[in-house]
Structure formats: C-alpha cells, structure tokens
A and B are shown apart, each in its own frame.
Chain A
Amino acid sequence: MNWLAEQFAALSPAVQATLWTVLIAMAAATSSALLGSYLVLRRMGLVGDAISHAVLPGLVVGFLMSGTRELWPMLLGAAIAGLAMTYLAEWLRRHAQVEAGGALGVVFTSFFALGVILINLYASQVDLDPGCVLYGALGTSALDTIRILGLDVPRSFLSLGAVALLDLAFVAVFWKELKISSFDPALATTLGISAIVMNYLLMGSVAVTVVAGFEAVGSILIIAMLIVPGATAHLFTDRLATMLVTAVLVGWIAAAGGCLLAVHFDTSEAGMISVVAGAEFALAALAAPRYGIAARILRGFAFAFRIVQEDVLARLYRLEEGVAVRDAGALAMHRPAAERLARIYLRARRQLTRAAGGWALTERGRARAQALVRSHRLWEGYLSEQLRLPLDHLHEAAHRMEHYMTPQFAEKVEERLVQRDADPHGRRIPPQPSP
C-alpha cells in the first residue's frame, strides 16, 4: 500500500488528477451498471430517467436541512424523493387513468421543476450549481480531496465507492429476491417475496446511485451509465450473473475510455463517457455472437447459399431420373453467379464432379439430393391428401418446404400419407438415403 502510495505521489499532479477522474467515473459506472441491468431486464429504462430527475428536490431539501454539502443527507433526501415519485406515478396510473409512461412523465417533470425552483429561491444559501447537476463536474470533483493513508483522495471517490459497495451488497444479499421479482413478480409475491417491496427497494437504491453519480456525469448522462451497460450486456449473455459482470465491465470501459478521450480532446468527460458507452452498444448490436445484426445477416447469407446448393443438386437428380426436363429449366431460378459459386463449393465438398458436357452428382451429392427430392414429393403428397390442394398449388409450396425438412420430419409426414410410393403427379418418392 505504501509502495503504491509512493509511486502515485511520484506522478505529476496532472496525471494524478486524470487517474482520479478515471477512478471516480469507474466507481460511478460500477453501481449504475449493476442496478441499471435490473432496470433493463424489467423494461423500466425510462424509470431510471424519471428518478434521476425527480431526486432533485430531495437533494435540495436534504442540503438545506443539513446546511452542509455532506453527501449523506442529500442521498437520504434523494431516496425519499425517488420513492415518492415512484409511488405517485403508480397512484396516478391506477386512479387517474393516465397510462404508465404519461404518469411517469407528469410526476418526474413536476418534481424536477420543483427542484429547480427551490435552487433558484435559495440560491444564496445553496451551493448547488444547476449546470453541475445537469452535466456533472468530474474534472473539478477530483480536486476536492481529503488526506487518507498518506494519499490525497477525492471526496467524491470515497462517496461513490461507498455507494458502489452498498449496491454490490444489495445485489448480493437480495440476489434471489431481485431475480425472481424481476422475472416473475406474481410468483414472487405468492411465495412471500413481495414484488412491490422489492420494487421500492430497487427504486430507492437507484435514487441513491443516481445522486451519487450526479457529481460524476450529471442527471442527464447518468441515464447512459444506467441503461447502456445493461442493454449491451444483455446482447451478449444469457445468465444473470454474467450479464451483471459484463455490464460492469462495459461501464468501466466507457468510464475509463471516456475520461482519457476527454482529456485528450479537452472536452466534457460526461459527454465522452456517454459517447464511448453508445459506441460499445452499437458494436455489440452489430457483432454480438447470437443476437447481433452481423451474426444474423451471416446466418441469412448461409441459409440463402444452402438453398442455392440444394436447388443445384435437386435439379441434377431430376435430370438423372429423366423426369420433366422442362421442370428443371423452370427451377433455374438463381443468379448464374450464385449457382456457379454453389457448384464450385459443392465440388470442393465432393458432392459434384465434372462430367462430359457438364456436371454430375457424386455418391454423396446424390444422397443429399435424394433426401431433398424425397422431402419435396412427400410434402406435395401431404398437401394434396390432407389439405386437398389442387395439383397446380403443390410444387411451389413443396419447393420452399423441402429446405426446412429434417429426415425425422419427412418420416412423420410419410406415416400420414395414404399413397407413399409416388407423389400426386405420379413421380416416384425415393426412400431416405442410407447415411
């Protein structure tokens, strides 16, 4: 510890200040990412926004009553204001027939306005700067220090660190209660874990977290720190614990990256943190392995390419059978380039081979094509027998369906058919090829 302190003291004051700024932002990111993840899962993102504004009057009253800029009276005031806002919005929704979003909008803007008026009325006594509340003052808060263990530690790092530990303890102690009341509030309540109590506990913690975070990033951009890490982590993970850890990491990257970039470009830390967080989300939405846009586009391409391959194989199979050459012509429905690519690929996979005057199926290719043609004709039979569709309605539907049918499903279809050896057009239904 002493060694670390000495090393730290050896750094230049500017570097020290920057490091503290980063640490303060990371502490704020820890608590807001943890609680924000639950807001995301409960689809209550806007509630975080509402609370972050509604706490303002509580903050001012807490300040006026204690007469100091000590954090704890203000946190208490904020928690009370946040809970009051939550309760009033719920009451309005129930009794004044205002929809949930409208009720929230009415209540939190009124609370915020009340806070602004209070600040203006008692401006002489209140050392609260509305600009600081809105946008935060990360850079300057690193300079307000207190000496601990031979180190000049910023007060806001201590308070934010304490709130982060508090939130961590809250999540750890009420782990299963938070989980079940977020997933299935009705069941939670019947088991004796009141979803309403859990909701107010969470909202109170969010209010405290938000106020602690004001100093770092302000009341508007704290929303980004609450919601974006959770939303980003949700794209990556399908376990609650991993989601929370990932969200905190995302928050840390945003905090550290944002601060450093802000120093580099000499601009607002809060703004930069939000920009980095937004970029992280965009990247995740694009590149997340299962739910990301890129992964889905790739899967779409892969499926389209599989259809081209299968159509090439099935056409050759029908030519070999000698049925309906005209039909084979009608099936050439893909772009020539796509078909060429499919043939090259199939040749590499040893399903096609060069033959006199064109292409021929190999053993493997024939087996795959046979399964396809079998699925196609079984489905035509099913549509004709069970849905009583006319003959001219069968081909196109079966041509789509053949690409989705597994051997097991084809077998189930076959069991339901009366005429199992030939399709409604009289063409032979081949057996399932042996693997």
Chain B
Amino acid sequence: MSRPGDIQTPPAVELHDLTVAYHKKPVLWDIDLAIPEGEMVGIIGPNGAGKSTLIKAVLGLVPAATGWVRVFGESYASRRREVGYVPQRESVDWDFPVSALDVVLMGTYGRLGWCRRPGAAERKQALGALERVGMQDFARRQISQLSGGQQQRVFLARALAQNARLYLMDEPFAGVDAATETAIVNVLRDLKQQGRTLLVVHHDLQTVEGYFDRVVLVNLRLVAAGPTREVFTRDNLLATYGGRLTILDQAAETVRRFEDWLPQTGAEPPHSAARAAAPQRLLSPPGAPPPAQPQHGAAPQAARRPPGENHALP
C-alpha cells in the first residue's frame, strides 16, 4: 500500500501471513497488509468478520497463531509508546468511580512507567485533550453521568493524551450522535494533517468514502486493501458482505478440535483444508522468528487474493 519512492520508510503497520485464533479457532486467515504512514484507513467488514481482532492483533492483545506484526518496522513491544488505542466503548464498566479527567489521564500512564504518578504536566495535557474534543466542562464529571457520545469523546481525548504516531480505533463512531460524529471526524482529520496514521474500524458504509483515504475490506480473510477510490467497489463489497465463507468456518472448527485434542465431529470434515491452512502452528513452535527481511512497497493489494471460496484457501 505504500507509494513508490518511500521504500526506505517502513510502513506504520505491516502484517505478514497473520492468522489469529481465539481459543485455537482461527478467526482471521493469512492476512498480508501494509499501512503506509500518515494515512487515515478504514477497516470495513460485516459483524464477526474479525475487524476488532485485526487491531487487537496489531496491539498484541491476541496472539498470532502464524505470521507476524511489525509497527514502524519493529515489534509492537518496542514501539508501544508511539501507539494509541481507542477500545470499543462497551468494553469498560462506566460505573467505575473515576472522573472524565481521570480516564484521560490514563493515556499518559504508558509514558510514565511503573509506579510513577501523573503530575501537573500530565494534568495540563489531559485537560488540553479534553478541550480538543469539546469536553473541558465535563472534566470533573463521574463518567456514568456522561452520554454515550460524550463517553466516546472522553475515550478519544485519552488517545490524544497518549500523543501517538499511530492510532488504532475500534468503532469510534458506534452509537454516537451526529454532533459527536462530526467532532470526532474533525479531530481525526487534524491528526492526519499532523502526519499521524489512523487505523479505524468502521461499520457505516455510507460515510466510508467521505472519511477514509484508504480502506481494508475484511471478512475472515483480507478481501481487498488500497486507496478507497480503487478498492471500495461494488464487487469487493459483495465479496466482503456476501455471507460468511462456510468452508472457512468449517476449517476453523476443525483446526480448533485438532488443537484442543478433541475428537472430530465427522459432519463433513475438510481435513485436508485444515492441515493445509494451519500447518505452521502444528509443526513449529509458536513465536518462531519471522523471515529475516520483510518486503515493503507492494502495489495496491486490491483483489491480490481473489475473493471466493475456491481461492480463500491455498
């Protein structure tokens, strides 16, 4: 996805042959993807397609079954200070006894390191972040008293307080009012103007073309990735949203049963497919070193792997 000429700069995010499994069951298959720096990229796909899993894999929150992840050319752990994360709003308990300012201050915790408390500088920065999302008047408010849109803005302010180079956001527009959506989009565009990279899980197809320079279409596998104008096409959308690939579902279930040492159900076992698709995990130890020299600068990956059941598996 990177432009010709900047071969030297590593992509902001690079995934190579990444397969992610939850409880041994693959939910994302063999993803190859490179996100160039400074772009605003939407991750699009139906419910259960693995959009959130994709960014959680980048963050190391879910382990890779096969393949590897690079952030600015290095492992996530060595670059975590440069990465900001906005989880889904429903992922936390909003009855937790903290104020909006407390939540935003959490964005500075990574920089502070273990056992050091945020001080005046951090508070000032957190207040500034709240102001950027228009929430400065709510700093002292207990978070359960905020509306859904306001809670989402607090989460965004927390990410701003992280002052990251790369932002990963999980559905920041889910369930917010129109005013909040506009406010959030403006902040995201500001960030892009400053050269930050944004990888945003998004569900509203209506606004994709207005918001994102590039899109990544996923549904258990990568359908297409590239500039919105080239990739956000009817055919690619049909391939993304045209129902789940039943073979992939069956293969995932089979892999899980093998890996958990359970008996196969025998219903219609695509044994050969499963063995072919996930042999690395079975044969080599997890965390085996990645190939020495990752390749960058591939052309747009639209239809790199043509969608459809026949091609989805090697």
Binding site for B on A (CB under 8 A): 41, 43, 94-95, 173-177, 179-180, 182-184, 186-193, 234, 237-240, 242-243
Binding site for A on B (CB under 8 A): 23, 56, 59-61, 77, 80, 83, 85, 87, 91-93, 95-99, 102-103, 106, 109-110, 112, 114-118, 142, 144, 158, 260
Task: Give Cα A193 to B116, complex, Å.
Answer: 12
Q: Closest approach, in angstroms, between the C-beta of B221 and any C-beta of chain A?
A: 24
Which residues of A are found within 8 Å of B106, using beta-carbon distances? 176, 179-180, 183-184, 187
Which residues of B are found within 8 Å of A175, using beta-carbon distances? 117
- Closest A residue by C-beta to B170: A186
- Partner of A189 from B61, B83, B142 at Cβ < 8 Å: B61
Point out which of B77, B109, B114 has the most chain A C-beta atoms below 10 A from its C-beta. Answer: B109
Task: Give Cα A95 to B87, complex, Å.
Answer: 26
Known contacts A173-B115, A187-B85, A187-B87: A182-B96 contact under CB 8 Å: yes
- Partner of A191 from B56, B92, B110, B116 at Cβ < 8 Å: B110
Contact B109 A191 (CB under 8 A): yes
Which residues of B are found within 8 Å of A234, using beta-carbon distances? 95, 97
Which residues of B are found within 8 Å of A239, using beta-carbon distances? 97-99, 102, 142
Task: Give Cα A192 to B158, complex, Å.
Answer: 16
Q: Closest approach, in angstroms, between the C-beta of A372 and any C-beta of chain B?
A: 25
Q: Closest approach, in angstroms, between the C-beta of A249 and any C-beta of chain B?
A: 15
- Closest A residue by C-beta to B94: A183
Which residues of B are found within 8 Å of A94, using beta-carbon distances? 23
A-B pairs with the 4 shortest C-beta distances? Answer: A191-B110, A238-B142, A190-B59, A190-B85
Task: Give Cα A176 to B96, complex, Å.
Answer: 14
- Closest B residue by C-beta to A242: B97
Known contacts A173-B115, A193-B109: A240-B97 contact under CB 8 Å: yes
- Closest B residue by C-beta to A177: B114
Q: Closest approach, in angstroms, between the C-beta of B61 and any C-beta of chain A?
A: 6
- Partner of B118 from A174, A176, A177, A192 at Cβ < 8 Å: A176
Point out which of A175, A189, A234 has the most chain B C-beta atoms below 10 A from its C-beta. Answer: A189
Which residues of A are found within 8 Å of B85, using beta-carbon distances? 186-187, 190
Point out which of B59, B96, B142 has the most chain A C-beta atoms below 10 A from its C-beta. Answer: B96
Which residues of B are found within 8 Å of A180, using beta-carbon distances? 106, 109
Task: Give Cα A193 to B77, complex, Å.
Answer: 11
Which residues of A are found within 8 Å of B144, using beta-carbon distances? 238
Which residues of A are found within 8 Å of B83, using beta-carbon distances? 190
Task: Give Cα A95 to B59, complex, Å.
Answer: 24
Apart from the given pairs A180-B109, A188-B109, A239-B98, 16 other A-B contacts in the complex at a CB distance below 8 Å: A41-B96, A95-B260, A176-B116, A179-B98, A183-B106, A184-B87, A184-B91, A189-B59, A190-B59, A190-B80, A190-B85, A190-B110, A234-B97, A238-B142, A240-B102, A242-B97
Q: Closest approach, in angstroms, between the C-beta of A350 and any C-beta of chain B?
A: 33
Q: Closest approach, in angstroms, between the C-beta of A376 and any C-beta of chain B?
A: 25
Q: Closest approach, in angstroms, between the C-beta of B155 and any C-beta of chain A?
A: 9
Contact A183 B118 (CB under 8 A): no
Contact B117 A176 (CB under 8 A): yes
Task: Give Cα A180 to B80, complex, Å.
Answer: 16
- Closest B residue by C-beta to A93: B23
Contact B98 A176 (CB under 8 A): no
Which residues of B are found within 8 Å of A184, using beta-carbon distances? 87, 91-92, 106
Which residues of B are found within 8 Å of A176, using beta-carbon distances? 106, 109, 112, 115-118
Contact B98 A183 (CB under 8 A): yes
Q: Closest approach, in angstroms, between the C-beta of A233 and any C-beta of chain B?
A: 9
Known contacts A173-B115, A180-B109: A190-B97 contact under CB 8 Å: no
Which residues of B are found within 8 Å of A191, using beta-carbon distances? 80, 109-110
Point out which of B77, B99, B115 has the most chain A C-beta atoms below 10 A from its C-beta. Answer: B115
Which residues of A are found within 8 Å of B115, using beta-carbon distances? 173-174, 176-177
Task: Give Cα A177 to B142, complex, Å.
Answer: 20
Q: Write 10 A-B pairs (CB below 8 A) sorted by A numbering.
A: A43-B93, A173-B115, A175-B117, A177-B114, A186-B56, A192-B80, A193-B109, A193-B114, A238-B144, A239-B98
Task: Give Cα A338 to B300, complex, Å.
Answer: 72
Task: Give Cα A41 to B94, complex, Å.
Answer: 11
Task: Give Cα A192 to B60, complex, Å.
Answer: 10
Task: Give Cα A187 to B98, complex, Å.
Answer: 16
Task: Give Cα A177 to B117, complex, Å.
Answer: 10
- Closest A residue by C-beta to B77: A192
Which residues of B are found within 8 Å of A186, using beta-carbon distances? 56, 59, 61, 85, 87, 91
- Closest B residue by C-beta to A184: B92
Task: Give Cα A176 to B83, complex, Å.
Answer: 20
Which residues of A are found within 8 Å of B118, using beta-carbon distances? 176
Q: Closest approach, in angstroms, between the C-beta of A196 and any C-beta of chain B?
A: 11
Q: Closest approach, in angstroms, between the C-beta of B24 and any C-beta of chain A?
A: 9
Which residues of B are found within 8 Å of A95, using beta-carbon distances? 260
Task: Give Cα A192 to B80, complex, Å.
Answer: 7
Task: Give Cα A354 to B114, complex, Å.
Answer: 71
Task: Give Cα A189 to B83, complex, Å.
Answer: 12
Task: Give Cα A175 to B60, complex, Å.
Answer: 24
Q: Closest approach, in angstroms, between the C-beta of A44 and any C-beta of chain B?
A: 12
Task: Give Cα A184 to B109, complex, Å.
Answer: 12
Q: Closest approach, in angstroms, between the C-beta of B74 and any C-beta of chain A?
A: 15
Task: Give Cα A184 to B106, complex, Å.
Answer: 9
Task: Give Cα A182 to B85, complex, Å.
Answer: 17
Contact A190 B109 (CB under 8 A): no
Task: Give Cα A355 to B59, complex, Å.
Answer: 74
Contact B103 A183 (CB under 8 A): yes
Task: Give Cα A175 to B85, complex, Å.
Answer: 22
Known contacts A176-B112, A238-B142: A190-B96 contact under CB 8 Å: no
Contact B60 A183 (CB under 8 A): no
Task: Give Cα A22 to B114, complex, Å.
Answer: 37
Q: Closest approach, in angstroms, between the C-beta of A156 and any C-beta of chain B?
A: 31
- Closest B residue by C-beta to A174: B115
Q: Closest approach, in angstroms, between the C-beta of A299 and any C-beta of chain B?
A: 15
Q: Closest approach, in angstroms, between the C-beta of B288 and any C-beta of chain A?
A: 22
Known contacts A186-B85, A190-B59: A243-B97 contact under CB 8 Å: yes
Task: Give Cα A175 to B102, complex, Å.
Answer: 12
- Closest A residue by C-beta to B261: A95
Which residues of A are found within 8 Å of B110, using beta-carbon distances? 190-193
Contact A190 B60 (CB under 8 A): yes
Task: Give Cα A243 to B99, complex, Å.
Answer: 13
Which residues of B are found within 8 Å of A189, using beta-carbon distances? 59-61
Which residues of A are found within 8 Å of B99, using beta-carbon distances? 238-239
Contact A240 B98 (CB under 8 A): yes
Task: Give Cα A184 to B94, complex, Å.
Answer: 10
Q: Closest approach, in angstroms, between the C-beta of B57 and any C-beta of chain A?
A: 12
Q: Closest approach, in angstroms, between the C-beta of B294 and any C-beta of chain A?
A: 22
- Partner of A183 from B23, B92, B114 at Cβ < 8 Å: B92
Task: Give Cα A175 to B105, complex, Å.
Answer: 13
Contact B97 A238 (CB under 8 A): yes
